[in-house]
Structure 1
Amino acid sequence: MKIAYFSCSTIYGGVEKIIIETLNELCKDNEILLIVPRGCQYKNQLDSKVTIYEYKSYDKRYNPFLYAEIYKVLKDFSAQILHSHAAKATQIGFVISKFMDFKFIATKHNNRKGKIFNRVKNVICVSKAVANTVNHETKTLYFGIKNQAIKRDLPDIFTITAVGRLDLIKGFDQLIKSVQILDFPFILQIIGDGKEKENLQNLINELSLNDKVKLLGFRSDIAQILANSHLQVISSLKEGFPISLIEGIFYSHVLISTPVGGIVEILDSNFFIENNNFATKIEEIYQNYNDFKTKFAQTHSKFRQILTFENYILNLKNYYKEVK
């Protein structure tokens, strides 16, 4: 089967990780094309079997030259499926699909409005919460990961880890402000990169937290870092279904999160952070750590059987066969 993926993102984040891992698997028995803008930062992570096309036209959704360029690429490839990710690529793909004969599928990754998804027949949503933002029936597909054999080695000092791109929507600024009132020894490490890096570092400096809060940047060993942390925190203001949640289910001893998006479909309510009271919840876990650790493992063990990459790929392939 000839499958084309289309994304208008050049940066590397959760959505791009899904695209990379999915295509690296699909290319084993399908012909794959990935269409992305020039300057794609994650193209080197793709299997050599994946054909990458970096479009040259000005990256605006109403640019007719961009539509013409994408149309030609898809025609030359003889795409049987076009699968777009996020709103801009979906809007462009939707228009082009009216003039070409392929199955058009779009994935919605967040619970923002994204009215274009209401017009697309075949929509995959990353969680039920996201599905509720589309006005017709959709397919909910939870992403999954490949479980790694990790040796756990907790440090002496209470270690807290947060993972995500450095963006305001991730709430890292509020998390940093909150931990300054903790009255026990700790380290907070934040994994990820992004446009808020300088602002977050300035905040850390202003609060004199340089010895307690560390920005680790991009890391490829997230599973090991989570396994070597006492606690994982998701502080997001909004989410669709973050990969950091899945990683936490597999590797974290304890994970707490704001009750947003698809997280509430997986995480037990005892591990929610209510009203952004990060410090209160962290303190409660610190004081009762073994109890929380035991309960987290018992409550979420079933999801380690569900949120696997193998399940995701199988369900995705079946969906490709089903849709018209």
Structure 2
Amino acid sequence: MALEILSTTSDLNEYGGAQKVLLDLHNGIKHKYNCKILGFIEFEKLHPKYGIRQAEYVKFANPFYLNNKILLVHARNIMALIMVIKRMFFLNTRIVYIAHNVYNTHKHFSFFPCDIVSISKKVTHNLLNYFNLKNRKITLIYNGVKDQGDANPVVTFKKQQTIRILYSARVIDVKRQLLIVNQLKGKLHPDIQIVFAGKGPDYDQLVEKCSDATNFKALGFVEHVDELVKQVDFLMLFSTQEGLPISLIEGIMHGKPLLVNDVGGNLEIGVPNFNGIELTDDWNELADKINSIVDLSVENYQLMSQNSRKHYEAMFTYNVMIDNYIKLIDSL
């Protein structure tokens, strides 16, 4: 009889990176195991972009449903609930926590099982040194995405006057879109445009701030973001908190160089002086660093583009991620 695997997280009504990884992993292993997605909302409220079939979804109701199953938990905010339920009802449930982010809060109110997957070296460091989980089994498995790119990406850099930078993320405080517009308005070269893709609680404010700024454009939720990635020259993230951003992996899949700060696993995807340009938290230096891409030669850009594609193929492919999770599950 096949192992029964439940994958769960919070906020399946919103479209986000950790939720997307959950779905990709679920779809990648269901040929081998009996897999379901466990949620806490009605099926009708699931985000339609996930494409979850009703037969694959279970809304949590009965604690004993978790018994004799392997539970892959993709969200810290439900770990305490899961751990309490397991102990209260004496369940034979093997829990694996997939750590998607670096945290510096609730240190003494966070609960972790014996088996943990870390999705970046920075996340591993956070688990070991902030949460002091040195007695846990922590396995590093990088996120991977299905290859929709070209082995020899087409270079668009400087073929048009405007150099376009895609900032693809949910529009919330930790992603700092509003701060970026406030701090960089009037400081960027006229040939540079930062394009924001995504929605969120701060989106309406972002639209207003971008309305009279030629260097910035807010697109909202983009249905086929892959097509947009192909059209831009760089991808950028300047968050205060990250794990291993899927948007950046999708960028290097298409051979795009990255503009990123040293948060979470950003520099593991966009390696400075290889396929990435590191951004500092000094706002004046940030403007200068972004403006410096105007002076980047097409030849150097092309080398960075090729390096991005090579880096994706070496570390962030979908099949490698799935194989690593299967090895882990079979070892439990």
Q: TM-score range by the shorter chain?
A: 0.7 to 0.9
Q: What amino acid is aligned across from residue 195 of structure 1 in structure 2?
A: P
Please name the residue that 1:122 is paired with: 115
For 2:185 and 2:294, the matched residues in 1 are separated by: 13
**Relative to structure 2, which stretch is displaced further, 263-272 or 298-307?**
298-307
Please name the residue that 2:37 is paired with: 34
- TM (norm. structure 2) is 0.83
C-alpha deviation, 1:15, in angstroms = 0.6
For 2:164 and 2:86, the matched residues in 1 are separated by: 49
For residues 160-175 of structure 1, what are the structure 2 equivalents within 5 Å?
160-175=165-180
For residues 1-324 of structure 1, what are the structure 2 equivalents within 5 Å?
1-9=3-11, 10-38=13-41, 40-42=45-47, 45-48=50-53, 51-55=56-60, 69-75=61-67, 79-98=68-87, 99-113=90-104, 115=107, 119-134=112-127, 135-136=133-134, 137-149=137-149, 152=154, 154=156, 156=160, 157-177=162-182, 178-205=184-211, 208-209=212-213, 211-270=214-273, 271-275=277-281, 276=283, 277-300=285-308, 301-323=310-332
Q: Are 1:43 and 1:52, in contact at CA under 8 Å, matched by a contact in 2?
A: no
Q: What amino acid is aligned across from residue 111 of structure 1 in structure 2?
A: V
Please name the residue that 2:130 is paired with: none
For 1:297 and 1:152, the matched residues in 2 are separated by: 9
CA 1:256–1:201: 2 relative to 1, 3 Å: same
C-alpha deviation, 1:95, in angstroms = 2.0
For 2:141 and 2:319, the matched residues in 1 are separated by: 12
Aligned residues: percent identity? 20
5+ unaligned residues in a row in structure 1: which ranges?
56-68
For 2:185 and 2:289, the matched residues in 1 are separated by: 11
For 1:109 and 1:85, the matched residues in 2 are separated by: 7
- TM (norm. structure 1) is 0.85
For 1:242 and 1:87, the matched residues in 2 are separated by: 17
5+ unaligned residues in a row in structure 2: which ranges?
128-132
Q: What amino acid is aligned across from residue 94 of structure 1 in structure 2?
A: M
For 2:34 and 2:26, the matched residues in 1 are separated by: 10
C-alpha deviation, 1:48, in angstroms = 3.1
For 2:313 and 2:215, the matched residues in 1 are separated by: 32
For 1:179 and 1:307, the matched residues in 2 are separated by: 34
Residue-by-residue CA offset, 1:44-79 (whole Å, 9 max, x unaligned): 624538521234xxxxxxxxxxxxx3514324xxx5
For 1:179 and 1:252, the matched residues in 2 are separated by: 28
* Paired residues, number: 304
